[in-house]
Amino acid sequence: MIKEIYMTRTFGATSTTDDVLSGKDLRGKRVFITGVSAGLGVETARALAAHDAQVVGAARDLAKAEQATAGIQARATNGGGLTLVELDLASLKSVRACADKLVAEGQPFDVVIANVGVMRTPFGHTADGFEMQFGTNHLGHFVFVNRLASLIAPGGRLVNVASSGHRYSDVDLDAPNFERTPYDPMIAYGRSKTANVLFAVEFDRRHRENNVRATALHPGVIKTELDRHMKPDELDIAVQQINAQLAAEGREPFQFKTIPQGAATSIWAAFVATANEVGGRYCEDCQVSEVTDGPISPVSRGVRPYAVDPEHARALWAKSEEMVGERFGSPT
């Protein structure tokens, strides 16, 4: 009866991590999460460990991650808990070393959540010479997840935390490092987030015959460290403009999500939604989004067609392999 009641629940924009996990028993489940030193990553790890999952969390700065997650292990019960590993997604040397170590240990994962990212950084390059946002948000995860793919257990999932920021730009497969155009930090962010969605689409296609699925999502607009490269008043000005537009339309003012609300869609996509519901799809507000090429405002929902186009996803996969100098499985 409890299971039947749980399956009839619906969740939305205000649902929290604890809401979507209410009644769920995650004992014996192993989850890998990137970016557990702040914000959504810490909350995702907390909620999963609190429901008895074994979480392996990755961070570039282990000291910061240890401080941010100090209370998680202390509150874990019934076999749940958190282990930290070092991973710098802006360095393929670090990415390969971390993935190879996990593969050598041989312990499977039920879910991999590619959570961490950078946003609107000044123009710069990763250790391997890639534009910083595309290299960190996409290529770092692309190599890491593919090297780790053999550890994802049948019935498991890859969850890519993308963003509504994908609406700002499609990927540029001819000049991914801004070789031909002036650098724009928001366009670069949009490219990297579109890549997160396309990666999930193609990963899902390649692995679904083995009962491993992939999805991407927008967590919502949340105040986290992700906006640290914005000017101090830039976000406030943007919200004022949005609210002026909403007021003119007779609509309620915009509200930020809390961090537990923002992390809810990741957990919903990983453990609550059915595999066929979310596999190869883009989600937000604990629901699957509609594909739309019409106007999309900061307070509306939907995913751009180019971000979920299967042929486009294959092309990005091939370009990504070319860029990192590594092939992952044969195309089918």
- Give the mean model confidence (pLDDT) for residues 296-318: 90
Q: Average pLDDT, whole number, for the chain?
A: 91
Is the pLDDT at 2 greater than 50? The verdict is no
Residue type, 331: P
Q: The CATH number of the domain where 308 resides is what?
A: 3.40.50.720
Which one is predicted more confidently, 236 or 274? 274
* CA dihedral sign, ordered 254, 260, 266, 267: negative
pLDDT score of 70: 93
Is the pLDDT at 323 greater than 90? The verdict is yes
Could you give the CA distance from residue 7 to residue 273 in angstroms, rounded to a whole number? 9
Is the pLDDT at 258 greater than 80? The verdict is yes
pLDDT score of 25: 92
Could you give the CA distance from residue 219 to residue 208 in angstroms, rounded to a whole number? 24
Catalytic residue numbers read 189
Instruction: With respect to residue 66, please indicate whether it lies within any of the assigned structural domains.
Output: yes
Instruction: With respect to residue 101, please indicate whether it lies within any of the assigned structural domains.
Output: yes
Is the pLDDT at 255 greater than 50? The verdict is yes
Instruction: With respect to residue 331, please indicate whether it lies within any of the assigned structural domains.
Output: no
Q: Collect all residues with Cβ–Cβ distance below 8 Å to 222 and sequence separation of at least 6.
A: 39, 40, 256, 257, 258, 259, 261, 262
Question: What's the structural domain count of the chain?
Answer: 1
Instruction: With respect to residue 221, please indicate whether it lies within any of the assigned structural domains.
Output: yes
pLDDT score of 148: 97
Instruction: With respect to residue 243, please indicate whether it lies within any of the assigned structural domains.
Output: no
The domain containing residue 319 runs over which residues? Answer: 2-227+258-324
- 131-175 pLDDT per residue, tens: 999 999 999 999 999 999 999 999 999 999 999 999 999 999 999
- 64-109 pLDDT per residue, tens: 999 999 999 777 767 789 999 999 999 999 999 999 999 999 999 9
Q: How far is CA 6 from CA 19, 168, 324, 325, in A?
A: 11, 37, 43, 46
Number of residues written out for the chain: 332
Which one is predicted more confidently, 232 or 125? 125
Instruction: With respect to residue 8, please indicate whether it lies within any of the assigned structural domains.
Output: yes
* CA dihedral sign, ordered 256, 261, 262, 268: negative
pLDDT score of 254: 65
pLDDT score of 8: 45
- Count CA atoms closer than 13 A to 94's CA, side-chain side: 18
Instruction: With respect to residue 252, please indicate whether it lies within any of the assigned structural domains.
Output: no
pLDDT score of 297: 64
- Give the mean model confidence (pLDDT) for residues 179-192: 96
Instruction: With respect to residue 250, please indicate whether it lies within any of the assigned structural domains.
Output: no
Q: Is the pTM of this model over 0.85?
A: yes
CA dihedral 149, 153, 155, 159 (to 10 degrees): -40
Q: Which DSSP string do the residues of 231-273 spell out, in sequence order? A: -TTHHHHHHHHHHHHHHHTT-PPP-PBPHHHHHHHHHIIIIIS
Could you give the CA distance from residue 79 to residue 199 in angstroms, rounded to a whole number? 32
Which one is predicted more confidently, 185 or 255? 185
- Give the mean model confidence (pLDDT) for residues 26-48: 96
- Give the mean model confidence (pLDDT) for residues 170-182: 97
